[in-house]
Amino acid sequence: MLHLMGAKGVVLEAAPLEEVTEIVINGAAGVNDTLIVDFRNGLIGIPITWRGGDGGFDTLVIEGGSFTNSRYIAEGPDSGTIHMD
């Protein structure tokens, strides 16, 4: 089961992992957004797209997990792609 948790640990969305093909999260414009991706239970093999929104200071936090390879590809001054396996 895949859970999307809110700031206070409340489940915002839940779905069986085998039914999910991608995850897209959109932040709010002009707000400091933070997305925490927790890999303590391992990689899920599903692409995650996060758009923090225009303005504000947006932060991506990656927690847990053990990876053989990780690579960041900068796509602009405030965007990029992270590959982990």
Per-residue pLDDT of the chain (85 residues; tens, 9 = 90+): 888 888 788 999 999 989 999 999 888 899 998 999 998 988 888 899 988 888 889 999 999 988 899 999 988 877 889 998 8
Output the DSSP codes for the chain.
-EEEE-TTS-EEEEE-GGG---EEEE--TTS--EEEEE-TT------EEEE--SSS--EEEEES---S-EEEEEEETTEEEEEE-
Whole-structure pTM value? 0.80
CA atoms of 82 and 52, how far apart (whole Å):
15
Cβ within 8 Å of residue 26, ≥6 positions away = 51, 53
